[in-house]
Amino acid sequence: MESTLYQLALTNSELALLNRMQELISRSLDTKEIYQGVLSAVEVADLEAVVILLLDEDKNFYLDFNSGLKSEFAESACRVFSNLF
């Protein structure tokens, strides 16, 4: 039962974070403002790292923002996502 409650709390926290990010993105087109808001939301969620990947016109992912990870690891995450899609 404790495990189920923990998972539910974690899921609610993750959904709240995603909702907050969606709100930030829908209010502004300024990437600097969006990323500052994302960093604030991540701090509240007590996460250690943020990686933002974007899609280019050819549907390839590229690393646009990284905080809290070594650049090699963030680039590796980018390659993994590119291979998945």
36-58 residue pLDDT tens: 888 787 777 777 788 888 888 98
What is the pLDDT, as a whole number, of residue 8? 64
17-32 residue pLDDT tens: 888 888 888 988 888 8
Amino acid residing at 49:
A
Q: Could you give the CA distance from residue 57 to residue 14 in angstroms, rounded to a whole number?
A: 29
